[in-house]
Structures are given as structure tokens and as C-alpha cells.
Amino acid sequence: MAIISKDEQSPYWASLKFKFGLSYIFIIAAVLLLMNTYPLMVSEDLVFRSKEASMQNSVSVMVYSLSGLDRLNEENVSDAMAVVEETGLSRILVTDSAGRVLYDTRETGSALGKYALYAELVQALMGNDVFSCSYHTGAFRSHASSPVLYQNQIIGAVYAYEYDTEQAALLEGLQSNLLRVSIGIAIAVLLLSFVLSRALTGKISKLLTAIRQVRSGAYSHRAEIRGHDEIAQIADEFNSLTDRLQVTEDTRRRFVSDASHELKTPLSAIQLLTDSILHTDNIDPETTREFVADIGAEAQRLTHITEDLLKLTRLDNDILDVPTEVDVEPVLEQVMRMASLLAQEQGVELTYRTTGRCRVLATRGEVHQVIYNLTDNAVKYSGKNGIVWVHLEEKDDQVVLTVADNGPGIPEADLPRIFERFYRVDKARSRAAGGTGLGLSIVHDTVTKRGGSVRVENRPDGGAMFTVCWPAQKGGQDA
Ligand code: ADP
């Protein structure tokens, strides 16, 4: 199956760096926009309110001073207005009920005697108190107007206008300060986000490079990422995954090469023997029979190896038969009967002992295989005049099987690798004894798949000792 990978040179806009950068810019822009508009709007509103209060107050003072008059004319208005304190307003107009100006504080361009038609004034002559304020081109322009009443009759109106540049200058100062601060913040945040996003995406790029290297088969490549953040943690996880991958890959390669070597040896022997039969003239029937017997033995050996390999493949793939409660003692006795024949042949003394009630959750075949492989090895490797002790007992919720011998034992350096596939201390001896180098791997995998364990050690007074522990099965009836 072809592996379709994403284009390694993705466009810049699809990169994380670009996306991070863009999102930072959006966030900063939104914050700065808010910072430059909201405080100004609030300040403007505050100024409007204070102006409304102060102007309406001034206008009502003026209205009050005019309120005793039954009708308004230039003289009495001017007299009444003379007593009103200085208000600081830019312009004050007083009109009669028709809107004719009776009083105007402006000297140049005075509207005295004319009709004033300001919208606020018209509203006031209709009986309303009016205020309006606007801010533009550097000034607040405020207008306030109120009617003057005599016995509930509108006899005129007061109109006040204020042009304020002082408050506007304060507001503008605030605006330009905010702008300066915003530009400073924007530059600082952009620089910071650039540095941060570079650091972050730099780490991701390193990780990506490492993943691609490993994908292309460089299993020894590791992602070198410093720090303790999530990306550094992902890199650590990736590195330990790659370590395991490398171990698995090494094991796989070694297994394939060992398996090919193991299969090649008997095949070469068969080839050689058949060639000899075919190419030797006048070969006598006795020799032919011997050669064919040898071919048969080699074929037998191939069968053993392939059977063992099949067993291991089934264990690797977790293809296990449904376990039942197995009473180990009768299985042990059966194996002992078979092994004692072999032991007699080899001049080895085989003894066994069982204590307690030993039941495990497995299959009879598995238990048989484990006991047989270990006993067979002990008999094979203990040599002439060897002694083999097999002991089965139940101890601390475990069924413990010990197979010990008084043979040469296993060199300490080989002990850690003894359960590896095709691992043999003495290859020639093992082959001569018909071994495939897979027996202990099968024991190990069979036991561990059922939750047990197996270990090996050398006995202090010589010989090897294998100990298998299965979890003891408690449920069944005593036999
Ligand atoms: P083999 O088919 O070669 O016996 P095993 O996996 O059963 O393969 O055993 C692996 C190797 O462990 C053997 O080749 C032998 O060198 C060593 N070994 C196993 N059992 C014993 C024992 N009881 N004493 C000494 N060496 C042993």
C-alpha cells in the first residue's frame, strides 16, 4: 500500500506560525481598538452630562430673574440680566414670545431687535427645556434654552450657548496619549508574539523533522527538544516510542536472519545428500539408504523448526486456546514417563516430587509443553551421570514448577538472553541434540501470556535451575 504523505512544503498561510501570528494580530487589534474608543466615549459622555447640568442651572437662574416680569422688553430684561452673576457662557439671548431678540451678550454681530430662529429657542418658545451638545473640530458646542413664564403664559425664552475648547483639549490630550501607549503596546506585543511563535513553531518543526527521519527508516534519529512544555513532553514520548521501535526492528531483523540461517542449514544438508545420490555412479543400496535416512532426519528437523515458529507466531498474535482449569500433577506425571525413557538413554537420573494441589488457568497442551521443554533441556544438557530434579508445589497463591540439574549450567553472561529466540549457548551442541533454539522462548511466551513468569539461575553447586510461576487457580473441587 502506498503511503500518501502531505506535501512537506505546505504553503506559508497553512503553517502554524502564520496562524499564530494572525490570531495575535487580531487579538491585539481588537484590544487596541477598544482601548482607543471606549475611554473616549465615556469621557465625552461625562463632559456632556456635566455641561447639561451646569448650563441648565445657569439658564434656570436667568429664567428665575426674569420670572417676576409680566411682559418682556429690552429695558426690563437688560435690568434683570444685569443682576445675574457672570456665567462664563459664550452667548446669552433673551427673546420675547415671538422670538424677537431683546437681549444679546454678543457685541459684534448682535442680533438685538431681530428674530432668532435657533432650533433650541423655537422648542423653548413651545414650552420645552432644551439642551444639546456636540463635540467636533476641537471644541464642545453646547446649547440650552428654557421658556420664561408669567402666570403660566410663555412670555419669552432664554437661550445660552457655550463654545468650550479647554475640555476638548483635555480630551484630545487623552486621545493622543492613548494612541501613543497603544502603538507602544502593539510593537511590544508583536515583537513578543513573533519571538514566542518562532520558539513554539521551531520546536514543532524539529519534532516534524525527527518524525520524518524516523519514518524514512533512520530509527536512531532522536528529537532534541529542550524545556518542559507539552511539545518537549511529546518529543520525549516520541523518543521513547522510537527507542521501542528500534528494539523491535532490531529483534525482527535478528529473528529473520536467525530463522533463515536455521532453515538454510538442514536445506543445504538435504541438497548435498540428494546431489550425492544423484551424481555418484554405482552407489550401493546401503549408502543410499543411509543418505535417505539423513535426508529424513533433516526434514524432521525442518518440521520441528517450522512447528516451533508457528507456535511462537500464534503466541505473538495472541491466538490462544480458551483456558480451562488444569490440574498440573497428572500432566507432570505424563511428561515424566516420557522423559524418563530419554533420561535412561542418556544415563541421567530423573526424579520428581509434587506437593499440594496445583491447578492453573491454561490449556493442558500449554502446561505439557512447558514441563516437557524444561525437562528435555535439563536431561539433554546435564550430560552423562547427570541428575535432574523436578519439583511442583503450590506456594503463596502460585503454582511453582522448578526444574534443576547438576550439569554445566549457563554462563552468567548468557543468562539475560537465554529466553530470546534462537539464542543458544553452544550452537553445535544444541543442534547435535536436535534443539531448535526456540524451546525456552516458547516456554517464556506461553507462561507470560497466562499471567505467569519464568526465571533462570545457576545453582550454587553447579547446574541450571528454571522456575516457572503460574497464578494458582482456587475455584475448582479437590481431585
Ligand atoms: P534448544 O533447542 O537449543 O535447547 P532452548 O531455547 O530450549 O533451545 O534453549 C536455549 C539454550 O539454552 C540452549 O541451546 C542451551 O545452550 C541453553 N540451556 C537450556 N537449558 C539448559 C540447561 N538445563 N543447562 C544448560 N544449558 C541450557
Of 197, 185, 172, 156, nearest to 62 (Cα)? 156
Up-side HSE of residue 33: CA atoms within 13 Å toward CB? 6
Q: CATH 1.10.287.130 spans which residues of the chain?
A: 230-313
| Residue reference for cell 512544503 | 9
- CB neighbourhood size of 336 (10 A): 18
**Could you give the residue range(s) of every CATH 3.30.450.20 domain in the chain?**
1-218
Q: To test the ligand 1 pocket, which listed residue (381, 387, 402) has its Cβ within 8 A of the most ligand atoms?
A: 381
Q: Of 95, 92, 90, 91, give the one whose Cα is nearest residue 113.
A: 95
- Nearest ligand 1 atom to alpha carbon 463: 24
Atom of ligand 1 nearest to the CA of 430: 3
Residues near 60 by Cβ (< 8 Å), separated by ≥ 6?
146
Report, at the CATH architecture level, how domain 230-313 is classified.
Orthogonal Bundle (1.10)
Percent helix, strand, coil in the chain, to 5, is 55, 20, 25
Angle at 240 between CA 238 and CA 246, to 5 degrees: 100
437/279 Cα distance (integer angstroms): 34
Residue pair 94/66 in contact (Cβ under 8 Å)? The answer is yes
Place of cell 507462561: 447
Is there a contact between 387 and 406 (Cβ–Cβ < 8 Å)? yes
Ligand 1 centroid to 230 CA: how many Å? 47
Going from the Cα of 408 to the center of ligand 1, the distance in angstroms, rounded, reads 11
Closest-CA residue, ligand 1 atom 14, reads: 424
Q: Please report, as a single letter, which amino acid is at residue 379.
A: V
- pLDDT score of 34 more than 80: yes
Which tens digit of pLDDT belongs to each residue from 83-103?
777 778 889 999 999 999 999
The DSSP symbol for 371 reads H
Q: How many residues does the chain have?
A: 479
> How far is CA 97 from each of CA 72, 73, 111, 123, 158, rounded to the nearest angstrom?
9, 11, 16, 12, 11
Average pLDDT over the chain reads 90
Q: How many whole angstroms from 210 Cα to the centroid of ligand 1?
A: 41
In ligand 1, the atom with minimum distance to the C-alpha of 435 is: 2
Is residue 461's pLDDT more than 60? yes
Instruction: Decide yes or no: CATH 3.30.450.20 for domain 1-218.
Output: yes
**Best substitution site from 342, 370, 376, 418 to test ligand 1's pocket, by max atoms within 8 Å of Cβ?**
418
Q: Ligand 1 centroid vs 399 CA: distance in angstroms?
A: 23
Q: Residue 409: which region, alpha, beta or left (left: phi > 0; alpha: psi -120 to 50)?
A: left
In the chain, CATH 3.30.565.10 sits at 321-471
In this prediction, residues 280-293 reach a mean pLDDT of 91
Query: Which residue ranges have their beta carbon within 6 Å of ligand 1?
Result: 373, 377-378, 381, 405, 407, 410, 418, 423-426, 430, 435-440, 464
Per-residue pLDDT reduced to its tens digit, 139-176: 999 999 999 999 889 999 999 999 999 989 999 999 99
Helix or strand holding residue 133 (H, E): strand 130-136
Distance 410 CA to ligand 1 centre (A): 8
CATH superfamily for 321-471 is Histidine kinase-like ATPase, C-terminal domain (3.30.565.10)
218-277 confidence digits (pLDDT tens): 888 888 888 888 889 999 999 999 999 998 888 889 889 989 988 999 999 999 999 999
Side-chain-side CA neighbours of 261 within 13 Å: the count stands at 13
Reference 359, options 324, 334, 387; nearest CA is 324
Helical ranges in 131-229 per DSSP H: 166-215
Residue ID of nearest Cα to ligand 1 atom 25: 409
Q: Which atom of ligand 1 is nearest to the CA of 425?
A: 16
